[in-house]
C-alpha cells in the first residue's frame, strides 16, 4: 500500500458543529485537524460584531472548541487549521495565543491569514448584479497558498477568514504533493469531500434498502459519529476513512453523494487555486469504512476569484407557529390556517405563506398525502415584512387565534430574522494580497 | 417503483441554486433513472414546489445524476417563506418519492399524491 504524505481530519463542518469529533481525530494521530466553521452568512453577524468592537468579529465558539482540542493537539503535534477567524482573524489569533497561555501551553505559534476583506476594493469587483444598496461587507475566497506558507513557517494553528473551504485542506498537503496541477487538484477534491465533516461518514444519509446495503446507523452511532480523515498520497489520490473505534459509514455511495454536494457543473468546479474536474473520479472500496479516491483532474487556474458581498435589505422575515392538539386537531388546524389567511387578506401570496406543519409544509405539492387523524398539528405563518411593526402584526394575529380562533390554540413561538442577501462578485487575482500576522503564546 | 428504492440522494444549495444528487445502486438502476428523469419530465413536477429550469449532469462513472435548479431558491435559503430555516435539506425527497410507472403511453413519473 502506498504511504500517505499527510493525514488530515475534518473536525467540524459548520460553525455550530460538535466539538468532540475534532478531539477524537487529534488523538488518533492525524497531522492536522481542519475545522470548517464559516458559511457565507456566518460572516454577517461577525462583520457587525467587528464594526461595534475592533477586537470582536471572530467565531465566539473558538474558546469552547480550543479548550477541548488544544491540549490533545499540542500533545500529538497535530496542527489546527480553521476559518473560525471569520471577520477578524487577526484578533482571533491574539485571542488563541492568550487562551493557550492561560491553559499553560507556551510557545504555540498562531498565524492569522488576512486579506480576504476586499470591502475597500469595490472599483475592482464585478458584481453579477447591481447591489442596489450599500454593502455590509465584501470578502474574497482566498486559496491555499497563504495557509500553506504559514504551515511551512511553523504555524501550529492557522486561523483565517473567508477562504475556499477545500483550501483549508489542500493547504496542509500542498508542500508534500508531487509538483503537478493534478496532484493539487486531488487535494482540493479531498478537501471538498471532507469539508462537511459527518455528512461524509453517514450523517444526513439514508442507505438504499435491500441486499448489500449497510444497516442505518443507530441513535447511539449518530450521537458518537466519527468524522472523516484522509490519508493523502503524493499524486493527490487519497484513502478516506474514520478514526479507530468510531461509528459511521464510509463507502463509495456516501463519498459520491458528498463529492457532488453543492457542486454546479461537476466537470468545472472553480476554486481559487484551480478549476477542478470531478467527472472522472473513482471511488474504490478498500475495506470496512475505507475508500480510495482518485481521478480528480485540473483544468488550470481560474481567471478570477469569487467575492461574497452582503446586502442588508430593509425589513424582516417573520416566522410564527401555534399548535392544535387533542381529538380533531387536524380539522381545527385546517380551519385555523384558513382563518389566518383571511385575517391577512391584504398581504400578497408572495409575502405570506400559511402552512400546516405535519401536512406537507416542507415538500408541499410533492409531499406524501396526509391520511387520517393526527394527535397534533402546528399552523405556521411565514411573512416578508417591511418593518418591525408589520412583523409584530404577524405575531399578534397568530396570538389572537388563542382567544378568537378554533379551540385550543397553544404553544406559540415566533422568530424574526433580518433579510440579508448574498451577492456574488468577481475580482482579478492581482487585486488580492493576503498576508500573515503572527501571535505566540 | 419509487426512485428512492433504487437510488440514494442528497440536496444542497448555493445562493439561489438548489442542487439534487442521485446515486443509483447499480448500473441497470442508473440506466433506468437516466431514461426516466429527464429535465423535460421533471421540470413541470418540480415547478409545483420550486421555480425555474432544471439542468441535468450525467456522471456514468459514478452512477450519479445531478440536477441543478439555478433559480429555485430566490434570495437564498434565508429568504424562503417556509417554516424554519434550511427546508432545502429535505428537498431530495422531491425526487426520492417520485415513482416510475410504465403504461401504454410509455414511461411516466407519478407523484406521491397521484400514487394513491
Reported confidence tier of residue A433, pLDDT bands at 50, 70, 90: very high
| Cβ(A109)–Cβ(A438) below 8 Å | yes
Cβ contact A140:A307 at 8 Å:
yes
Task: Quote the cell numbers at residue A403.
Answer: 382567544
Cβ-defined contact of B49 to A365 (cutoff 8 Å): yes
Share of chain A above pLDDT 90, in %: 93
Structure confidence at residue B75 as a pLDDT band (50, 70, 90): confident
- Please check whether residue A11 is in contact with residue A237, taking contact to mean a CB–CB distance below 8 angstroms: no
CB pairs < 8 Å spanning A and B = 139
Residue among A259, A278, A362 minimizing CB distance to B90 = A362
Asked if pLDDT for residue A211 goes beyond 80, the answer is no
pLDDT digits (tens, 9 = 90+) for A245-299: 999 999 999 999 999 999 999 999 999 999 999 999 999 999 999 999 999 999 9
In this prediction, residue A1 has a pLDDT band, given cuts at 50, 70 and 90, of low
Q: Which of B6, B10, B60 would best serve as a mutation to test chain A binding (most A beta carbons within 10 A)?
A: B10
- Asked whether the beta carbons of residue A257 and residue B13 sit closer than 8 angstroms, the reply is no
A212 pLDDT above the threshold of 80: no
* Residue A101 pLDDT: 98
Spatial separation of the C-alpha atoms in residues A280 and A299, rounded to whole Å: 13
Distance, in Å, from the CA atom of A441 to the CA atom of A103, rounded to the nearest integer, reads 10
Q: How many residues does chain B have?
A: 116
A78-96 average pLDDT score: 98
Provide, as residue numbers in chain B, all residues whose Cβ is less than 8 Å from the Cβ of A394.
Answer: none
* pLDDT score of A298: 98
Sort out which chain A residues have CB atoms less than 8 A from B33's CB and list them. Answer: none
CA-atom Rg of chain B in angstroms: 14
Supply the pLDDT for residue A12: 98
In angstroms, the Cα distances linking A236 to A183, A199, A293 are 4, 22, 9
The residue of A293, A296, A365, A366 whose CB has the most chain B CBs within 10 angstroms, and thus the best one to mutate to test that interface, is A366
All three cell numbers of A297? 483532474
Residue from B29, B61, B83 whose CB has the most chain A CBs within 10 Å, to mutate: B83
The residues pairing with A12 across neighbouring beta strands, listed in sequence order, are A35
Distance from the Cα of B24 to chain A's closest Cα (Å) equals 9
C-alpha dist (Å) from residue A97 to A66, A107, A148, A336? 11, 9, 20, 56
pLDDT class of A57 with cuts at 50, 70, 90: very high
First to last CA, chain A: 40
Residue A209 has pLDDT above 70, yes or no: yes
Write the ipTM. 0.96
User: Percent of chain A at pLDDT above 70?
Assistant: 100
Contacts of B78 in chain A (CB under 8 A): 41, 317, 417, 419-420
Q: Which residues pair with A107 in a beta bridge?
A: none
Q: Give contacts of B68 with chain A, Cβ < 8 Å.
A: 264-265
Residue B79 predicted with pLDDT over 90: no
* Residue whose C-alpha cell reads 406537507 in the numeric block: A360
pLDDT at B116: 64
pLDDT, tens only, A154-202: 999 999 999 999 999 999 999 999 999 999 999 999 999 999 999 999 9
Place of cell 457543473: A265
pLDDT score for B84: 85
pLDDT tens string A18-47? 999 999 999 999 999 999 999 888 899 999
Chain A residues with beta carbon closer than 8 angstroms to that of B3:
none
Q: What is the pLDDT of residue A31?
A: 98
The pLDDT mean for chain A works out to: 96
* SS3 category, A7: strand
- Whether residue A260 and residue B98 make contact (CB cut-off 8 A), yes or no, is no
- pLDDT band (50, 70, 90) for residue A356: very high
Tell me phi and psi for residue A31, to 5 degrees. -75, -30
* pLDDT score recorded for residue B105: 79
Contacts of A266 in chain B (CB under 8 A): 57, 59, 66
pLDDT of residue A3: 94
CB atoms B9 and A363 under 8 Å:
no
Q: Tens of pLDDT along B85-108? A: 899 999 999 999 999 998 887 889
- Residue A101, burial from CB neighbour count under 10 angstroms (0-12, 13-18, 19+): middle
CB atoms B6 and A380 under 8 Å: no
What are A405-415's pLDDT values in tens digits?
A: 999 999 999 99
Cell numbers placing A163: 477562504
Separation of alpha carbons A441 and A96, rounded Å = 8
Quick check: A208 and B15 CB within 8 A? no
Distances (CA, A) of B16 to A41, A192, A350: 14, 20, 16
Question: Can you give the pLDDT at residue B25?
Answer: 94
Please tell me the distance in Å from B61's CA to the nearest CA on chain A: 7
User: Distance between CA atoms of A308 and A141, rounded to whole angstroms?
Assistant: 8
Candidates A259, A353, A369; nearest CB to B112: A369
Q: Supply the DSSP string of A311-371, one letter for each residue.
A: EEEEEEEEEEEEEEESTTHHHHHHHHHHHHHHHTTTS-TTTEEEEEETSSTTTGGGSPPP-
State phi, psi for B46 to the nearest 5 degrees.
-65, -30
Residue B38 confidence (pLDDT) above 80: yes
| d(C-alpha A204, C-alpha A193), whole Å | 14
Amino acid at each position: 500500500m502506498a504511504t500517505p504524505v499527510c493525514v488530515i481530519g475534518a473536525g467540524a463542518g459548520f460553525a455550530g458543529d460538535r466539538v468532540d469529533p475534532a478531539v477524537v481525530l487529534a488523538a488518533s494521530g492525524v497531522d492536522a485537524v481542519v475545522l470548517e466553521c464559516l458559511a457565507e452568512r456566518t460572516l454577517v453577524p461577525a462583520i457587525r460584531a467587528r464594526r461595534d468592537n475592533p477586537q470582536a468579529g471572530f467565531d465566539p465558539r473558538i474558546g469552547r472548541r480550543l479548550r477541548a482540542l488544544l491540549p490533545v493537539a499540542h500533545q500529538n503535534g497535530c496542527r489546527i487549521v480553521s476559518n473560525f477567524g471569520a471577520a477578524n482573524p487577526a484578533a482571533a489569533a491574539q485571542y488563541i495565543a492568550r487562551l493557550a497561555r492561560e491553559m499553560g501551553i507556551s510557545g504555540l505559534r498562531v498565524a492569522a491569514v488576512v486579506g480576504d476583506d476586499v470591502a475597500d476594493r469595490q472599483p475592482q469587483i464585478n458584481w453579477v448584479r447591481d447591489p442596489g444598496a450599500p454593502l455590509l461587507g465584501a470578502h474574497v475566497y482566498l486559496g491555499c497558498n497563504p495557509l500553506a506558507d504559514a504551515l511551512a513557517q511553523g504555524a501550529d494553528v492557522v486561523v483565517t477568514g473567508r477562504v475556499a473551504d477545500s483550501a483549508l485542506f489542500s493547504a496542509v498537503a500542498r508542500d508534500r504533493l508531487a509538483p503537478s496541477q493534478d496532484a493539487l487538484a486531488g487535494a482540493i477534491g479531498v478537501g471538498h469531500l471532507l469539508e462537511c465533516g459527518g455528512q461524509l461518514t453517514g450523517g444526513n444519509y439514508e442507505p438504499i434498502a435491500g441486499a448489500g446495503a449497510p444497516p442505518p446507523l443507530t441513535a447511539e452511532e449518530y450521537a458518537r459519529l466519527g468524522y472523516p480523515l484522509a490519508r493523502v498520497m503524493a499524486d493527490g489520490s487519497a484513502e478516506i476513512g474514520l478514526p479507530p473505534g468510531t461509528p459511521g459509514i464510509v463507502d463509495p455511495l456516501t463519498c459520491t453523494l458528498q463529492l457532488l454536494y453543492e457542486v454546479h457543473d461537476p466537470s468545472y468546479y472553480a476554486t481559487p487555486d484551480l478549476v477542478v474536474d470531478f467527472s472522472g473520479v473513482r471511488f474504490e472500496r478498500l475495506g470496512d469504512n475505507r475508500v480510495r479516491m482518485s481521478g480528480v483532474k485540473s483544468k488550470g487556474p481560474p481567471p478570477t476569484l469569487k467575492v461574497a458581498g452582503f446586502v442588508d435589505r430593509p425589513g424582516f422575515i417573520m416566522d410564527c407557529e401555534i399548535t392544535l392538539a387533542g381529538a380533531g386537531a387536524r380539522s381545527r388546524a385546517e380551519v385555523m390556517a384558513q382563518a389566518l389567511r383571511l385575517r391577512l387578506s391584504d398581504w400578497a401570496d408572495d409575502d405570506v405563506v400559511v402552512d400546516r406543519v405535519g401536512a406537507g409544509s416542507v415538500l408541499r405539492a410533492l409531499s406524501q398525502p396526509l391520511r387520517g387523524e393526527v394527535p397534533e398539528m402546528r399552523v405556521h405563518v411565514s411573512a416578508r415584512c417591511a418593518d418591525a411593526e408589520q412583523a409584530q402584526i404577524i405575531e399578534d394575529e397568530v396570538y389572537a387565534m388563542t382567544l378568537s380562533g378554533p379551540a385550543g390554540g397553544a404553544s406559540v413561538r415566533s422568530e424574526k430574522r433580518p433579510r440579508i442577501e448574498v451577492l456574488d462578485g468577481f475580482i482579478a487575482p492581482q487585486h488580492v494580497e493576503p498576508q500573515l500576522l503572527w501571535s505566540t503564546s | 417503483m419509487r426512485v428512492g428504492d433504487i437510488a440514494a440522494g442528497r440536496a444542497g444549495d448555493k445562493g439561489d441554486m438548489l442542487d439534487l444528487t442521485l446515486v443509483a445502486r447499480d448500473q441497470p438502476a442508473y440506466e433506468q433513472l437516466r431514461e426516466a428523469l429527464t429535465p423535460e419530465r421533471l421540470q413541470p413536477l418540480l415547478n409545483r414546489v420550486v421555480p425555474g429550469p432544471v439542468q441535468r449532469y450525467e456522471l456514468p462513472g459514478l452512477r450519479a445524476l445531478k440536477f441543478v435548479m439555478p433559480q429555485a431558491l430566490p434570495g437564498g435559503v434565508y429568504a424562503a417563506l417556509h417554516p424554519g430555516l434550511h427546508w432545502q435539506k429535505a428537498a431530495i425527497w422531491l425526487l426520492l418519492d417520485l415513482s416510475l410507472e410504465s403504461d401504454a403511453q410509455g414511461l411516466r413519473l407519478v407523484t406521491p399524491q397521484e400514487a394513491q
